[in-house]
Structure 1
Amino acid sequence: MPQEIWINLPVKDVEKSTAFFNEIGFQANNVGNERAKLSIGQTTILLFPDAALEKFAGARIADTSQTAEVLFSLGANSREEVDELIRKVELAGGTVFGKPSESDGWMYGAGFADLDGHRWNLLYMDESKMPKGK
């Protein structure tokens, strides 16, 4: 049984995407020819040029201006962490599609798209306010 999963993500410009993710506080490094490794916690996301990923996948990549092919959801440690990351995203050229807001009295989150339109969700859950099961 496989022990690791690597997510392969198409990008238009590996260098610009690498810079964007580093600017917002993630760890991204160029590796090899025209690709980069993005590390978020224990998750590895490999950034590949669009054409390379189409070749590997044997299919065209999604047009992120028209569709969402995936939503990456990230846990935050506080409301302030959500606000700070969204501020960094805006400064780095990303697009905020969901301004920070509270939901259900115990969740606080926001959503953004990176330079290539891939969608990311940030969520802080205040477990002390979480509804108890019946």
Structure 2
Amino acid sequence: MIFINLPVADLARSIAFYEAVGATKNDKFSDDTAACMVLSDVIHVMLLTHDKWKGFTDRAIPDAHASAQVLLCLSEDSREAVDAVVGKAAQAGGQADPNAVQDYGFMYGRSYADPDGHIWETMWMDAAAVAAGPEAFAADQHQPA
């Protein structure tokens, strides 16, 4: 299992945002300082208030609107699903496409930032092209959109 821990300024706002992009809250591992948001059977996002976060590390909480420590990426089943997730994120108060859209034909990716500035990438890759290997990628290279 993967648990991604993110510091958040407003826990209720962050819960609403992650629910809007498809996560479900696991109440067993949530309280007024943290929320466990389930993305899949194996991927969970722990939203932690700044005070809770400080209990895990002495390092400063970076301003994710000004800097990036990680880029988190999740795959989708289609280009349309990629667009739908980014659309939901924007409607829920996130920023659509803080990074450039990537369209290589066999691979398509977009990104969004949550209300705290954490960047999530969402991408689709053509399974047939992946199975064909690197030669197929080289033959189908396109510049990013």
Using the size of structure 2 for normalisation, the TM-score is 0.80
Between the two proteins, the alignment pairs up a number of residues equal to 130
CA RMSD of aligned residues (A): 1.8
In 2: Cα distance, 1:53 partner to 1:16 partner: 17
In 1: Cα distance, 2:84 partner to 2:44 partner: 23
Query: Once superposed, which parts of structure 1, at least 4 consecutive aligned residues long, lie more than 6 Å away?
Result: none
SS at match of 1:51: helix
SS at match of 1:18: helix
Deviations 1:102-121 (A, max 9, x none): 12x20011011001000100
Is the Cα contact below 8 Å between 2:34 and 2:52 reproduced in 1? no
Deviations 1:19-40 (A, max 9, x none): 0111122213451232111111
Task: Pick from 13, 16, 20 the counterpart of residue 17 of structure 2.
Answer: 20
CA-CA distance at 1:99 after TM superposition: 5.9
Is the Cα contact below 8 Å between 2:33 and 2:52 reproduced in 1? no
Partner of 1:118: 118
Indicate the structure with greater strand content.
1
Using the size of structure 1 for normalisation, the TM-score is 0.86
Partner of 1:34: 33
SS at match of 2:55: helix
Deviations 1:28-78 (A, max 9, x none): 345123211111111122111112212321211111122101111101011
Q: Which amino acid aligns with 2:113?
A: A
Partner of 2:127: 127
In 2: Cα distance, 1:132 partner to 1:112 partner: 29
In 2: Cα distance, 1:17 partner to 1:8 partner: 13
Q: Can you give the 5+ residue segments of structure 2 that lack an aligned partner in the other structure?
A: 136-145
Identity %: 32
